Structure 1
Amino acid sequence: MPRSCLKDDLPDDFRSDKTCCVHAEQRAIFDALARQPIRIKNARIYSISLNEEGEPAFAGEPYCTICSKSALDVGIAEFALWRGEGICVYTTDE
C-alpha cells in the first residue's frame, strides 16, 4: 500500500499548514539559532516558492503561518518574497 500524506484529505479551505515536513525557512531559522543566535535578531529571511516541477514560482497567499510564527518568535524583522512585481520586502509587523 503506497504511503500518502493526510494533507490530500484536507478541505481546500483548510486554514493552516498542510505539509507534513519541516519547511526550508524553518530549517534556516533553526540553523541560524544553532550557529549564530546573536545575529538572527532584526535579520531578513529570503523565501522562494517552487511549483510542481520544482522550478521557482512567485510567492502567493496564503503565507505559511508556521514559518511566520517562527520568524516572529526569534526576532526576524523582515521577509523578502519573490512576487510578480519583483522581490518585495515586508516587515514582520505586516
Structure 2
Amino acid sequence: MPFAPPQRGRSIEYFILHDAKPTGQSVGLYANREIPESVVDDFGRRYVFAGIAPRRQNGDFDVDALRSGEFILKPGLLYRIERRQPSWFGSLFR
C-alpha cells in the first residue's frame, strides 16, 4: 500500500531574529513584555511589527504560514523586513 512521504517543514532557525535591538515606540504588551514598533538586527536591517507569530495546535511556531519577508522575534512577535528604496527611486515620481 503506498504511503505519503513525511512532510518536511522549513527550519525555524532561518526565521528567528536573534539579538534584534528595539527601535521606535512601544505599540503594546505581549507576554508581559513591550512590543517595539520596529527592531534592527546586527546587520542594520530594519523590521517592522506585523502581529503575533502564527502557531500550530501543539504550540510550536508555524513557519510555513509566514509570508515572504516575515520573521519571528521570541517570545512570539511577527516582524516584516522593511525594504528600503534606493535614494534615487523617489526622484523618479516627483
TM value normalised by structure 1 = 0.25
Larger radius of gyration: 2
TM value normalised by structure 2 = 0.25
More helix by share: 1
